[in-house]
């Protein structure tokens, strides 16, 4: 028993080290000048700390602007997803209408469809509307349904809320809107929060969408900017690492804040497979 414990811990520590190593390497290199970076054997703590790598992406390149661009897309998408997925999930969980279950099945099937499959037709559609190179194709779809996965998660959650509460509202003369706003939403705060975090990370990390729809450099998101940056400063590892840190920090922050709900949320989606 003792020996297996030791083996298990060694395994875990090795795994944890593998997971953390790229992060450590990323951070330490971002504070180094090129000459410090290539010292052999590698140094793990920069001395002295070099801040220049963090200044240049903002000064020479439009990282500040990319940051704002990404924020716009993010706010739009979040508002769209949170309003439309909660409303759609409510109607699937609480209202009766013809074809409801078929419709739900259809939406679930669409969840299995890789994004790449619909990439070309949606691109052609946006192009014919003359909306390529705007943020519309990135943001507007969020307002129509807000993603099959989110609807599924919220519907499962809404279904766990006792129906008696609805009946009480109806008796008091309330409508579906009253139930939705006064009963369901306040009771589902954690599930909505999980959707919010998922959406944040998904939008923040999205690469293919902005790559396809945004051509104008001034409209780039951070992820695109980083990729572009690589082409310009190919071997300037310190700079590239600092830029990567800038792109990563918001995602890590959001994860840290919502960590507890986040882990539960992932678990919740997995259970009913």
Residues 242 and 30: beta-carbon distance below 8 Å: yes
* CA 37 to mean position of chain CA atoms: 32
Nearest residue to 241 via CA among 69, 40, 70, 46 = 46
Nearest residue to 180 via CA among 251, 253, 244, 84 = 84
Note whether 232 binds other proteins by CB under 8 A: no
- Tell me the two tokens of residue 186: 């306040």
Q: How far is it, in rounded angstroms, from Cα 162 to Cα 183?
A: 10
Note whether 56 binds other proteins by CB under 8 A: no
* Residue closer to other proteins (CB basis): 119 or 181: 119
* Residue closer to other proteins (CB basis): 113 or 181: 113
* Residue closer to other proteins (CB basis): 51 or 207: 207
10 Å CB burial of residue 121 (0-12, 13-18, 19+) is exposed
Q: How far is it, in rounded angstroms, from Cα 188 to Cα 157?
A: 7
Note whether 10 binds other proteins by CB under 8 A: no
* Residue closer to other proteins (CB basis): 10 or 181: 10
Note whether 38 binds other proteins by CB under 8 A: yes
- Tell me the two tokens of residue 95: 């209202």
- Kindly identify the residues of this chain, within the stretch 145-204, that bind other proteins according to CB under 8 A: 201, 204
Note whether 68 binds other proteins by CB under 8 A: no
* Residue closer to other proteins (CB basis): 151 or 245: 245
Note whether 108 binds other proteins by CB under 8 A: no
Q: Which residues bind other proteins (CB under 8 A)?
A: 5, 8-9, 11-12, 15-16, 18-23, 25-26, 38, 40-42, 112-121, 123-125, 201, 204-205, 207-208, 211-212, 223, 226-227, 230, 237, 240-241, 243-245, 247-248, 251-252, 255, 259, 263, 266-273
């Amino acid at each position: 028993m003792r020996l297996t414990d030791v083996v298990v811990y060694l395994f875990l520590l090795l795994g944890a080290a593998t997971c953390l190593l790229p992060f450590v390497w990323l951070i330490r290199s971002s504070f180094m000048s090129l000459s410090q970076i290539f010292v052999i054997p590698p140094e793990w703590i920069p001395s002295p700390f070099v801040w220049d790598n963090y200044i240049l992406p903002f000064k020479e390149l439009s990282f500040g602007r990319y940051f704002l661009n990404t924020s716009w897309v993010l706010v739009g998408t979040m508002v769209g997803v949170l309003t439309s997925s909660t409303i759609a999930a409510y109607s699937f969980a609480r209202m009766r209408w013809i074809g409801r279950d078929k419709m739900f099945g259809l939406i679930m099937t669409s969840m299995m469809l890789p994004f790449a499959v619909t990439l070309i037709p949606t691109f052609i559609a946006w192009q014919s509307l003359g909306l390529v190179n705007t943020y519309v194709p990135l943001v507007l779809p969020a307002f129509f349904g807000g993603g099959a996965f989110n609807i599924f998660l919220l519907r499962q959650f809404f279904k766990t809320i006792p129906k008696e509460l609805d009946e009480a509202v109806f008796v008091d003369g309330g409508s579906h809107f009253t139930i939705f706003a006064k009963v369901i939403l306040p009771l589902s705060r954690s599930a909505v929060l999980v959707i919010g975090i998922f959406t944040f990370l998904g939008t923040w990390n999205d690469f293919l969408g902005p790559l396809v729809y945004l051509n104008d450099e001034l409209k780039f998101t951070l992820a695109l900017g980083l990729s572009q940056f690589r082409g310009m400063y190919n071997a300037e590892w310190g700079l590239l690492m600092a830029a990567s840190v800038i792109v990563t920090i918001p995602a890590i922050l959001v994860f840290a804040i919502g960590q507890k709900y986040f882990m539960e949320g992932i678990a919740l989606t997995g259970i009913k497979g």
